[in-house]
Structure 1
Amino acid sequence: MMKTLVAEASLTSPHLFSLFCKANPKSMADAIVSVFLEKLLNTLAEEGLYVTKFREQFEKLQTELQLMQCFLKDADRLKRKNDTINKVLAVLRELIYEAEDILADCQLQSRDDALFSNGFLTCISPPVLHFKHQNGKRINEIIGEITQIKQNIQSLLGGALLFQPNAINGKDQMPRWSSQVYDHTMVVGLEADTKKIKDWLFEAASEGKQEILAIGVVGMGGLGKTTIAQKVFNIEKEIDDHFDRRMWVSVSQTFTEEQIMRSMLRNLGDASVGDDANELLKKINQYLLGKRYLIVMDDVWGEDVAWWRRISQGLPKGNGSCVIITTRNERVSRKMGVKETRIHRPKFLNKDYSWLLFQKIAFAASEGQCIYPDLEDVGKEIVDKCEGLPLAIKAVGGMMLCKASYYHEWRRIADHFRDELAENDDSVMASLQLSYDELPPYLKSCFLSFSLYPEDCVITKQQVVHWWIGEGFVRLRSGRSSTDAGEDCFSGLINRCLIEVVDKTYNGTILTCKMHDMVRELVIKIAKDDAFSVTNKTNCRHSGITNNMDRKQLTANPKLRGLVSTTKSGEVNKIESSTAKKLSEFRYLRVLDVSKSIFELPIGSLLFHIGSLHHLTYLSLSNTHPLIELPASLEKLTNLQILDLSYCQNLRTLPHNLITLNKLKVLDVSNCGSLECLPKGLGRLSNLEVLLGFRPARSSHGCRIGELRNLTRLRILGLHLTHADEVEENEVNAMANLRDLENLSISCFDSHGSDLTSKLDKLYPPQQLYELSLKFYPGKMSPAWLNPIALPLLKYLSISSGNLANVNQNFWGYNNIVWKIQGLMLESLSDLELEWPMLQEAMQSLRIVNVSWCPELVSFPIDDVGFRGGVWIKG
């Protein structure tokens, strides 16, 4: 009996067992032994409950978390109005973070040690029992603390709040619109503004003065200053023809003169990497000498403009060159040389224009018209509260687009807007706060992720979507892929006008975005209050990697869940050895993105211990230097869902254990020039949804193209083919049954031998393909399968570079079977000959045509007024 108790004590309470062993029973009096054993038995009876009831506590904690997270989504207004509630919620938030970490450990342990299995030997193993005891006890404590918090909150609010299970499925629904539904370049009521600026620009050339004309656009935040400048700079073809060079520079509140000049050089096509700072202005002068140029200095804040005087003195003068300065401070514009006669002060939108702008966004699904008579009055009431500020109107319009078209719902929003304005008379900030409050919880987390990025940073959609997937922010529905769900979240923020589109592809797919400085001001404040991200504390859960980050604070923060590269375009991170070695010590890290980084030590030293990050779901090493190979410890990352190795030009091989990462959904090895093939057995990764940069092996030692047959969940596939022997005759149907595949890109860059063309001719894609891109196609004739019968659902087709001169006869269809293509891009095809009338006949749904560097397409209506910058939009 004694031995049994000691053994059980060793399993359940190591601390008690060590005390027991230190006592020597042979020299102890019987009375002392009896007392000790009684205490031990009582302790075992009490603490054993945490082991035997572990599953029950685990499930109870999950339920409590669901209820409290449901409450938190409605608590944002409450905590802003009550300091006590704010403090209570801060404690609750920390408990939820801790509970989530415990649950993550439990899930990990359950896989590694069959924690919840019925196997007797597993259940009584010392590590498992110790784990159950330790975490079960803490779970029980957390449940008690959460219960107490619930009682405190209900007491503070007079019992007004109920924590009910059915509330979980209340407002927390997917947005009404999960894709872009309106044109984000749309402006209303700015025709007179842009005409005035254009007239001034053209007058500068006619006056022939030997100076740079300075134009100021001055006004409060949210008035549309940047929009006016963008309208003139980007859209007007006359401006494009008038100026030889154009440069857009976003001047943040924290900038350096060197950053400004490097930004100007990037606009001129010069990356300026490695250039001495003292030589930058001289290079800019050389680029602009003898040219007429336009510079936009957007959003200038500080009144110390000595930096501009130095730069402007070094620029060539005359030729009608101009600079447009947008600023909230009129004194800034005057100090930068703007005369009173060249200051434009945008006005607030009048009621008609305000309502028109609101309608175009809120009622985008009905072509910008309010078709609900009962909503018009309350809609106009909401718009009136925006006081003619375009940013406020767009924010509430985007919010209402995602709301049900019911009067009581719109009435509720109008009342909340009134309350916000009572506390904050800034209609822009009130509308933005209201937009945030009305976000579903999963979109709030996605929105807060933008707090990490510096001012005026251009952010790639792929990075934030991968981050959201990796950290579990996206809301998954039955049968919905995680990548689709991530895209939906991104569209949800775009449609609410909380982030702005920067770059899109020819077919409208968004590539990059940015955030208005007033929206960024809000998101930073909320992220700080919620300990999501903040730069001056060590308890935040997310941090950005930049060259000026506080590395001591970073490495001292054990709670990090996400560490993301947030450098601006054209910049790289330089990561010190001491920092790099610490990265593998963040136990609960789910997201690690060190893209665009240069490491002082070989990156393999960093990755050697990466296997210890058991919770990691997203790893990006994109464009890192110097990455040559991945470590064997990668196989320990059993939770990994996204692995981004794109643009790692020195990467030579991938480890064979990559094929054991069966949760992997995204694998990106695009633009890895030294990578010959992927490991054999890749077809086992049956959960892959996105595979980019796939290079088939030419022998049986790597992954052959035939393995694609097993990747039945693939939605996006990027192939790189260079040799005919990469595709055997029995592999030409490898893609035919990939029924979920929507987007296929085939690149034959640096291809060898004419036999590849005949193999490509047989490599049939699946019929349901939605988008196809052919790059560097080696044949003179298009592949036989490129026709409307083989690809009946194709909506977008892009063909760029290569030898294509003509299309197969099947391309034109027959028996009234024509293409459903809506968007077509033809680029850098010097030999291609097509007749425009025939193309129109075969593609009757065509709306977008992007043609560039195709000299033989003489029948295309290049001079038609419908073409703008090579893009023609029909309809």
Structure 2
Amino acid sequence: MVDAVVNVLLEKLLKALADESRILIHFRDQFEKLKNELLLMQGFLKEAERVKRKNELLRGVMVVLRELIYEAEDILADCQLQSNEDDPVSGGWLTCIYPSRLPFQYQTGKQLIEINEKISEIKRNISSYLGVSIINQPEGTIYDQMPRWSSHVYDHTQVVGLEGDTKKIKDWIFEADRGILAIGVVGMGGLGKTTIAQTIFNHREMEEHFERRMWVSVSQTFTEEEIMRSMLRNLGDASVGDDKGELLKKIKQYLLGKRYLIVMDDVWSLDVTWWDRIYEGLPKGNGSSIIITTRIEEVAQKMRVKEARVHRPKCLSTDDSWLLFRKIAFAPTGGICNYPELESVGEEIVEKCKGLPLAIKAVGGIMLCKEPKYSEWRRIAEHFSDELGESGNSVMASLQLSYDELPTYLKSCFLCLSIYPEDCIIGKDQLVHWWIGEGFFPLRNGRSAVEAAEDCFSGLTNRCLLEVVDKTYYGAMYNCKIHDMVRDLVIKIARESAFFNVDYLNCRHLGIKNSMVPKHFMDNQKLRALLSTTKTGEVNRLSPNVAKKFCESRYLRVMDLSRSIFETPLSGLLNHIGCLQHLTYLSISNTHPLVQLPASLEKLYNLQILDVSYCQNLKTLPSYIVTFKKLRVLDVSHCGSLEYLPKGLGRLSQLEVLLGFKPAKSSQIEGCRIGELRNLNALKKLGLQLSEGNEIENTEIDALVNLQELQHLSISCFDINDQDLPTKLDKLSPPRQLHELSLHFYMGKVSPTWLNPISLPMLRYLSISSGDLAQMNESFWGNDNNVWRIEGLMLENLSDLKEEWSMIQQVMPSLRILNASWCPELAAFPIDDIGFRGGVWKKEDYTSY
């Protein structure tokens, strides 16, 4: 981790020194010395990170160096705050710590000198630890080479070599006619047990065969109540406040008379009394089935699986192993290896994976992100051999190799996964915002922070370190999770790096849990990030003492309190948060009852991300929001009581994402008009909520057309009070380079005139859902010289829309994904039961119609 934290500090140091801030003038020599020492050492840090696992002395030295780097970063942050003391927004914050400028300068200078002396000593000694000399070595660079593939290129839904496994289990399921069929999938970790169960669970035949389906991930620390609540969430019931007896009764009521499928994934406990109680309460008969995946054969037996219905997956064959590897490592060319010299090395690497799919995916993901050069592939093969010799476990060796080969900035991003509990669904936005808030990755070449962070997310998914859970209709991921063996590795590294510790002590990053007590935050000045990590359907309940304590960690950069219930008035807690002036990311999404933001938050002038989405009682945003000049993301979506945003929003020149924007009406003189959006030149993603025609004046119809960075636009017309709105919306043209467009509750009978391939030549994804749309405007169909470049189309809940598949097919020759549901008037579309259920059509799955 030292190479990663050094990169972060160097990035911030270079920027601060270039900015020539007033307070840094007093310490420029010391900061310059620090920068030069770290640049000189940097070339050796990556090797030191790998070697330290075998060298206890070096491991101790790297711990000391890491702590010095964090201390220097905090000093730099304090200096930047102090340099703004004359700013009316941030003024005087440090005077509560340093009453006058002289003590601050004296203490800071003294600390920097001590840090530099200690780092210089480490630099003098590090060559002996590594057996190399630093003298006359070229300086390092703070920039890793960007990965070959920053966008998502591998389809994680592909399954190789498991066709026989899934067919065997499906045949058992279809043969069941009475009682409850229990099926066990038993085998070692990384063998693909969960993948087999997921493939069956998500298959269209299972959807048609079973009236109810439930997937339950069974963590090693589960409770019986958690299991039943998870089953009920699968059935659409939040089951808040019920005891175990009531929960089981509800489950039985939902399943009575139905044929159902239950998957209990990854069961470890040999004590299955919890299962006996649940099983006895389940309705019997109708050919229902239960699939249990486990590493322990005795578990399956105790959970009533007969020997004849235990399936033991085998390792992949040599051919299937090589095929799976190729599909990942050569994903951009469809799994075809165009480099004959790499085949023998690739086959050697695959052989070491011993047919385990997780190991093959991990090494395939490494090679996907490497240059296709023989020397590089040979180096990876030898590194893999070394790791395999150390652990003897091909899965853990491949995962350790994958971590070692990560670019330094991705190591920090990867370690963020350590704070999440087992089987937790992780939101992409939370991860991306966290990475932005802590500045884990470098920004260069004019790259936006949001785009760079999303590239980091793709970097982890391409390496198969993140698993897809939920994605959009066209394949973009927005929820993920990690395999339990990946989690074992990331927790081990995080503990060694003081990044996160399961006992919550002496670490810089924490996930919020209901079991928290004040001692977890006692004198923890190291804390950098505190995030909500509750599982789906759960909430945090925090006591007043805990809430007060974590607000005393003054170096907090990231605070996500989403889905939390506080036993103290929320306004009081927010007043404490206003003292955390290093804060860059604040989320109070889905916290209740939040009515307004207090004046104390005005001091958070370093804020880059503010998320108050799903706060239904929030009525207004304070005017000081427009003074947050560093703000990149503002999310006020799904705030039903919010009337408008404050005037002056157009001054936020760095804003990249604005969701839930409600334009002020002509009578709301303190609100932000839609015309101000034309000043947001960095805006890349915009969510508009419109309800009346007077929200768009004739002088404002060009508000969006010149936003040259805007790529994603969502327009929702829910709760319309004015029939004039469709006419006004028809004139509000988006910019030509728009990449994705969503229209929700559009009230016009005919689509907007600007929705055509000439006005939107770069559009790739189009979604239209709900509303009164009956037909497409004539301009929608283009002409012989202009057709759509759309690749993904979703039509949902459009009961009046009358169009034919042949017309769509003709005007969208690049269409590869179609998702249509509840559109009974559509004609000849290649999806079964489109008027009732709908479905997804993928071009690659069919050859003709």
TM-score class, shorter-chain normalisation, is over 0.9
Residue in structure 2 matched with residue 12 of structure 1 by the alignment: none
Distance 1:550 1:579, change over 3 A: closer
| Residue in structure 1 matching 2:129, options 152, 156, 161 | 156
Q: Distance in 1 between matches of 2:140 and 2:661?
A: 45
Give the fraction of aligned pairs with identical amino acids, expressed as a percent.
Answer: 68
> What SS does the corresponding residue of 1:474 show, helix, strand or coil?
coil
Q: Distance in 2 between matches of 1:345 and 1:446?
A: 36
Q: Is the 8 A contact 2:644 2:663 kept in 1?
A: yes
Question: Could you tell me which amino acid in structure 1 is paired with residue 171 of structure 2?
Answer: D
Distance 1:406 1:133, change over 3 A: same
Q: Distance in 1 between matches of 2:24 and 2:578?
A: 29
Q: Distance in 1 between matches of 2:275 and 2:258?
A: 20
Q: Distance in 2 between matches of 1:262 and 1:66?
A: 53
Q: Distance in 2 between matches of 1:787 and 1:498?
A: 40
| Residue in structure 2 matching 1:858, options 813, 827, 833 | 827
Please list, as runs of the form range in 1=range in 2, the aligned pairs for 1:724-803 lying within 5 A after superposition: 724-803=693-772
Distance 1:163 1:686, change over 3 A: farther
Q: Distance in 2 between matches of 1:68 and 1:271?
A: 54
| Residue in structure 2 matching 1:807, options 776, 784, 796 | 776
Q: Is the 8 A contact 1:361 1:398 kept in 2?
A: yes
Q: Distance in 1 between matches of 2:101 and 2:150?
A: 44
Q: Distance in 1 between matches of 2:24 and 2:808?
A: 72
- Is 1:213 the equivalent of 2:185? no
- Is 1:323 the equivalent of 2:295? no
Please list, as runs of the form range in 1=range in 2, the aligned pairs for 1:572-651 lying within 5 A after superposition: 572-651=539-618
Residue in structure 2 matched with residue 31 of structure 1 by the alignment: none
- Is 1:92 the equivalent of 2:75? no
Q: Distance in 2 between matches of 1:317 and 1:85?
A: 61
Shift of 1:392: 0.2
Q: Distance in 2 between matches of 1:283 and 1:271?
A: 11
RMSD of equivalent CA atoms: 1.9
Q: Is the 8 A contact 1:237 1:868 kept in 2?
A: no
Output one character per residue of 1:557-598: Cα deviation in whole Å (capped at 9) or x when no partner. 221000010000110001111122223211100000000001
Distance 1:283 1:331, change over 3 A: same
| Worse overlay, 157-166 or 415-424 | 157-166
> TM-score with structure 1 length normalisation?
0.90
Q: Distance in 2 between matches of 1:365 and 1:833?
A: 38
Question: Could you tell me which amino acid in structure 2 is paired with residue 176 of structure 1?
Answer: R
Q: Is the 8 A contact 2:521 2:550 kept in 1?
A: no
Q: Distance in 1 between matches of 2:726 and 2:672?
A: 21
Q: Is the 8 A contact 1:461 1:512 kept in 2?
A: yes
Distance 1:160 1:385, change over 3 A: farther
Please list, as runs of the form range in 1=range in 2, the aligned pairs for 1:397-796 lying within 5 A after superposition: 397-536=364-503, 538-698=505-665, 699-796=668-765
Q: Distance in 2 between matches of 1:522 and 1:747?
A: 43
Q: Is the 8 A contact 2:534 2:540 kept in 1?
A: yes
Distance 1:488 1:722, change over 3 A: same
Question: Could you tell me which amino acid in structure 1 is paired with residue 677 of structure 2?
Answer: L
Q: Distance in 1 between matches of 2:625 and 2:714?
A: 23
Residue in structure 2 matched with residue 189 of structure 1 by the alignment: 161
Distance 1:68 1:572, change over 3 A: farther
Shift of 1:165: 5.2
Question: Could you tell me which amino acid in structure 1 is paired with residue 164 of structure 2?
Answer: A
Residue in structure 2 matched with residue 308 of structure 1 by the alignment: 275
Distance 1:695 1:52, change over 3 A: closer
- Is 1:102 the equivalent of 2:75? yes
| Residue in structure 2 matching 1:143, options 89, 106, 116 | 116
Q: Is the 8 A contact 1:113 1:128 kept in 2?
A: no
Shift of 1:103: 1.2
Shift of 1:66: 4.2
Distance 1:105 1:164, change over 3 A: farther
Shift of 1:59: 1.8
Question: Could you tell me which amino acid in structure 1 is paired with residue 537 of structure 2?
Answer: G
Q: Distance in 1 between matches of 2:673 and 2:560?
A: 30
- Is 1:225 the equivalent of 2:198? no
Output one character per residue of 1:274-332: Cα deviation in whole Å (capped at 9) or x when no partner. 33332000000000000110000000001000000000000000111110000000000
- Is 1:111 the equivalent of 2:111? no
Q: Distance in 2 between matches of 1:237 and 1:446?
A: 36
- Is 1:372 the equivalent of 2:344? no
| Worse overlay, 128-137 or 683-692 | 128-137
| Residue in structure 1 matching 2:254, options 287, 311, 326 | 287
> What SS does the corresponding residue of 2:470 show, helix, strand or coil?
strand
Q: Is the 8 A contact 1:51 1:129 kept in 2?
A: no
Residue in structure 2 matched with residue 38 of structure 1 by the alignment: none
Output one character per residue of 1:473-492: Cα deviation in whole Å (capped at 9) or x when no partner. 12312111000000000000
Shift of 1:864: 9.9
| Residue in structure 2 matching 1:836, options 805, 822, 825 | 805
Shift of 1:549: 3.1
Shift of 1:130: 2.4
Question: Could you tell me which amino acid in structure 2 is paired with residue 127 of structure 1?
Answer: S
Q: Distance in 2 between matches of 1:276 and 1:858?
A: 49
- Structure 1: runs of 5+ lacking an equivalent: 1-49, 115-121
Distance 1:639 1:165, change over 3 A: farther
Q: Distance in 2 between matches of 1:635 and 1:163?
A: 50
Output one character per residue of 1:153-196: Cα deviation in whole Å (capped at 9) or x when no partner. 222333356695532267x2111111111210111100100000
Residue in structure 2 matched with residue 201 of structure 1 by the alignment: 173
Q: Distance in 2 between matches of 1:537 and 1:645?
A: 27
> What SS does the corresponding residue of 1:64 show, helix, strand or coil?
helix
- Is 1:272 the equivalent of 2:239? yes
- Is 1:77 the equivalent of 2:50? yes
Q: Is the 8 A contact 1:722 1:748 kept in 2?
A: yes
| Residue in structure 2 matching 1:847, options 813, 816, 819 | 816
> TM-score with structure 2 length normalisation?
0.93
| Residue in structure 2 matching 1:874, options 818, 832, 843 | 843
Output one character per residue of 1:710-760: Cα deviation in whole Å (capped at 9) or x when no partner. 111100000000011111111111111000000000001111121111111
Question: Could you tell me which amino acid in structure 2 is paired with residue 148 of structure 1?
Answer: E
Q: How many residues align?
A: 810
Q: Distance in 2 between matches of 1:52 and 1:174?
A: 33
- Is 1:177 the equivalent of 2:145? no
- Structure 2: runs of 5+ lacking an equivalent: 1-22, 88-94, 845-849
> What SS does the corresponding residue of 1:585 show, helix, strand or coil?
coil
> What SS does the corresponding residue of 2:263 show, helix, strand or coil?
strand
Computing the radius of gyration over CA atoms, which structure comes out larger, 1 or 2?
1
Q: Distance in 2 between matches of 1:360 and 1:516?
A: 20
* Greater than 6 Å deviation, 4+ residue runs: 50-53
Q: Distance in 2 between matches of 1:441 and 1:522?
A: 17
Q: Is the 8 A contact 2:211 2:258 kept in 1?
A: yes
> What SS does the corresponding residue of 1:608 show, helix, strand or coil?
helix
Q: Is the 8 A contact 1:748 1:776 kept in 2?
A: yes
Q: Distance in 2 between matches of 1:765 and 1:225?
A: 47
Output one character per residue of 1:210-269: Cα deviation in whole Å (capped at 9) or x when no partner. x211100000000000000011111x2111111111100000000000000000001111
Q: Is the 8 A contact 1:51 1:133 kept in 2?
A: no
Q: Distance in 1 between matches of 2:441 and 2:475?
A: 23
